[in-house]
């Protein structure tokens, strides 16, 4: 299912992209980000802890919107849905992923950066798309240009987004949310400096909330 409704319902359009190395960090990290005023998180499946992290975060914060990121195969898609992911994000899109997405009612954000990729997504019924890697794929200028031929498409850019350029993206009418890892730096997680993560989230939420 297209993710438009879910993304439109977020009180803050910034989605931290989280990598969990130590499973025990999952809940305190999510708590810090949610306490800071963010409403949705994307837990990547780049580490083996990703699935169980989603399960634990959903159990601790059932009302939070918890997505699974870096979903690159049918198996990962199915497992992410099984552990309770509220949305699924892929860095690109394949026939297999589109076919798997049809089997579930969970919102899916396929990745697309070129005209051809956007057209393929539209053919499959998706008009809310991840734009990754954003900065090296032309950044905010490229997304603005895509509004010409694709006025119905909304993008969630991620990849290279920082506090310095986040407003360039959010000011575009065809950007519905942005994602990034700058809100959950590995160095702060390793040292369990949760209060600093609360502050990071709080300043971002204050600057960007709708
Ligand atoms: C992603 O998976 O969306 C990106 O790796 C996040 O990119 P960033 O680390 O540059 O924020």
Dump the DSSP string for 182-205: TTS-HHHHHTT-HHHHHHHHHHHH
Give me the mean pLDDT over the 106-130 stretch: 98
Q: Say yes or no: CB of residue 180 within 6 Å of ligand 1.
A: yes
Which residues does the annotation mark as catalytic?
A: 42, 130
Whether residue 156 lies inside any domain: the answer is yes
Beta strands 108-109; 178-180: pairing state: unpaired
Instruction: Please tell me the total count of domains within the chain.
Output: 1
Shortest CA distance to 7 belongs to which of 161, 156, 123, 113? 156
Q: Is 161 in the pocket of ligand 1 (CB under 6 A)?
A: yes
- The range of the structural domain enclosing residue 109 comes to 4-201
pLDDT digits (tens, 9 = 90+) for 83-103: 999 999 999 999 999 999 999
* 209 inside domain: no
* Residue 207 belongs to a domain: no
69 pocket-lining for ligand 1 (C-beta < 6 Å): yes
Is 80 within a domain? yes
Asked whether residue 206 is domain-assigned, the answer is no
Strands 154-157 and 87-89: unpaired
* Percent of the chain residues topping a pLDDT of 70: 99
Report the CATH number that the domain containing residue 71 is assigned in CATH: 3.20.20.70
And the tokens for 70? 């870096």
């Amino acid at each position: 299912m297209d993710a438009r409704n879910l993304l439109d319902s977020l009180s803050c359009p910034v989605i931290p992209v989280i990598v969990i190395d130590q499973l025990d960090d999952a809940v305190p990290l999510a708590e810090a980000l949610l306490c800071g005023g963010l409403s949705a998180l994307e837990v990547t499946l780049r580490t083996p802890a990703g699935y169980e992290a989603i399960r634990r975060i959903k159990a601790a914060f059932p009302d939070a919107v918890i997505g699974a990121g870096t979903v690159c195969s049918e198996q990962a898609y199915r497992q992410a849905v099984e552990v309770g992911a509220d949305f699924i994000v892929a860095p690109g899109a394949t026939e297999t992923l589109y076919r798997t997405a049809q089997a579930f009612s969970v919102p899916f954000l396929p990745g697309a950066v070129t005209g051809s990729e956007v057209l393929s997504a539209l053919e499959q019924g998706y008009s809310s798309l991840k734009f990754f890697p954003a900065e090296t794929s032309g950044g905010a200028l490229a997304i603005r240009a895509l509004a010409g031929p694709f006025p119905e498409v909304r993008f969630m850019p991620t990849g290279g987004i920082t506090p310095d350029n986040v407003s360039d993206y959010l000011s575009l009418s065809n950007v519905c949310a942005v994602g990034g890892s700058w809100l959950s730096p590995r160095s702060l997680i390793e040292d369990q400096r949760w209060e600093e993560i609360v502050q990071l989230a709080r300043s971002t939420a204050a600057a960007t909330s709708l």
